[in-house]
Chains A and B, each alone.
Chain A
Amino acid sequence: MSTGSFVHIVDTTLRDGSHAVSHEFTAAQVTAIAGGLDDAGVEYIEISHGDGLAGSSYNYGWSTTSEEELLKAASKVIKKGKLTVLLLPGIGTVDDLKMAAGCGAKVVRVATHVTEADIGEQHIGIAKKMGLMAVGFLMMCHMVPPEKVVEQAKLFESYGADYINVADSAGAMLPEDVKARVGAVVEAVKVPVGFHAHNNLTLATANSLVAVEVGATFLDAVCRGLGAGGGNTQIEALVGVLDKAGYQTGVDFYNVMDVAEKLVEPIMHRPQVVRNAPFMLGYAGVYSSFLLHTYRAAEKFQLDPRDILVELGRRRMVGGQEDMIVDVAYQLAQA
């Protein structure tokens, strides 16, 4: 254990958590939560539609408040931290990135499926030219062996990414999977490495700890675990666990607990409990944000959501293919 070493915390309550509130965050909520997180010393505060900039759509769900308005609200209250956005090439474009930078974003995380880093080269390059910090974010890393994650991480590094984030977007990894993938990337690249967990198998905090033990220095987390599927690593728990394990985060433990309990918990649509379907996401290796769309399709076509999820996993659907939930439900209902 590297006692005393520093772990950068990226709060993504207002991005991944957006899925869990069906993209209904208001400017007032964003002001309160982003301000609270900034006061608590959280270094990176990510705000976007759950599927990244310009995710507001039929396919992923409509934002009730525009990203522009939310980013402007956050920008006013973030003093010490860095306003961060997520961009998925194929959904968001450079124009959306320019809008975000105009609203005060300082960091962009460019997220691609773990085998497709090259579709993010353009966005990393332009972000760097704009003077932003740019992160290469590899989604669904459980689907490929560590060598493939390394190959794609190196691509992002070659494009100029400031750090590489390994994401377990389906919450499907066991600690040994995290150790193999994050460890291999840490060995292979010169830039820092981060980890993004989902709690579908109830391993988010444990997996995050494993990631720092093998050299990750950035961790994603959210207040009360509020995120897609079974949610993400719970920030207040993570800060406590890292403190107990001897790592520094610069985050005030009590303050961040207060943000979670006083500001985030009251606006949650439901407790972030790992019910059967979110557990099945992790078990079947399905993208976490498919969850609520799957519940809706299951109801419409009178199916068991677990059957839909297992079929999506069997078809090896990747992040962003929310439209295929209806396809699967329709085909299952015809059978």
Chain B
Amino acid sequence: MNKVKVAVIGPGNIGSDLMYKILRSQNLEMALMTGVIESEGIRRAQGLGIPTSIEGIEAVLAEDDIRIVFDATGAKPHLRHAPLLKAAGKIAIDLTPAAVGPYVVPCVNLEKVKAEPNLNMVTCGGQATVPIAYAISRVAGARYAEIVSCIASKSAGPGTRQNIDEFTQTTAKALEVVAGAQKGKAIIILNPAEPPIMMTNTVYVQVEEMDEQTIRASVAEMVREIQTYVPGYQLRVPPLIDGDKVTTIIQVEGAGDFLPKYSGNLDIITSASVATAEKLARQMLSEEEMSA
């Protein structure tokens, strides 16, 4: 089967985890890992026989047949990369907080935004909780959605720590824009317990119309859909009803590709990114088949 060539910018933990997931993909070819200095991540990619570069974005722009680019750098570099990638006709999948393009949560709104040249992956908490809030809002309406994400301290990198407000604000906004809640709120907690805890997420939704059976069925269906790209995504507490409040608790265990299993928070954002790219790639390939 034909594959679409992709590149990863930023060979850190996230970039390396992306690389392992792309290597398993049926539709994506890991054509380039690029950074700005010689690093462990670059050497790791070389060890797997993947072309590498330390020329950053320039190396990506030099390759015409790279069509999808994962940016796992930071907000500032991505603001510089985004227009360059767009001008070169490459689709950017943005794992940084830059949010140049619309938010995408693949099991919720990819169909709506798939024509965009730049897709932002929200936050780890957003990838874990927006689908549940959406599953409830699509059948019962959501006046308000509130989420609490708890992640292992070891799994929260310096980027998250230095700007934790960015997590709460972006996730809250995605609950509104993507999940369809009239108002969103997000809370993040870091827990340093040893052995590290799995990521847990609680989703509270104030619904417009309470129908327990329908809500439970909608959530169960959504959980199955997420499990197609995040096998360790599990319902801990199925929707509990209390007046017009629905409480759902889910747990995310990582696949353990490159990051440890407790880093479900990172796994879900890399998995969602790769799932997004795979859908786009399948579409590109089928369009080419038809025009061929």
Contact = CB atoms under 8 A, between A and B. Distances in A.
B153 to A, nearest CB: 6
Contact of B190 (A59, A94, A119): A119
A90 interface: yes
A318 B237 contact: no
A93 B169 contact: yes
A99 interface: no
13 contacts: A58-B204, A59-B187, A89-B165, A90-B188, A91-B187, A113-B190, A119-B156, A119-B161, A121-B162, A315-B193, A316-B193, A317-B191, A327-B249
Contact of A116 (B163, B192, B193, B237): B192
A94 B236 CA distance: 33
B164 interface: yes
Interface string B208-229: 0000000000000000000000
B284 interface: no
B116 to A, nearest CB: 28
Contacts of A319: 189
Given A57-B146, A327-B200, A116 B165 contact: no
A330 B237 contact: yes
Closest 3 CB pairs of A and B: A323-B202, A316-B193, A58-B204
A90 B146 contact: no
Interface of A: 57-59, 89-91, 93-95, 113, 115-116, 118-119, 121-122, 300, 315-324, 326-327, 330-331
A320 B187 CA distance: 9
A326 B237 contact: yes
A49 B243 CA distance: 24
Given A326-B249, A327-B237, 20 more contacts: A57-B187, A58-B146, A58-B206, A58-B247, A59-B148, A90-B164, A90-B167, A95-B169, A115-B153, A115-B192, A116-B192, A119-B164, A122-B163, A320-B148, A320-B187, A321-B150, A323-B148, A330-B237, A330-B240, A331-B236
A310 B172 CA distance: 32
A122 B150 contact: no
Contacts of B162: 118, 121-122
B237 A94 contact: no
B27 to A, nearest CB: 37
A90 B187 contact: yes
A276 B272 CA distance: 46
Contacts of B236: 327, 330-331
Nearest to A90: B188
A195 B72 CA distance: 42
A319 B148 CA distance: 12
A90 B168 contact: yes
A226 to B, nearest CB: 25
Contacts of B192: 113, 115-116, 318
Contacts of A91: 168, 187
B111 to A, nearest CB: 30
Interface in B139-155: 146, 148, 150, 153
A122 B160 CA distance: 11
Interface string B171-199: 00000000000000101111111000100
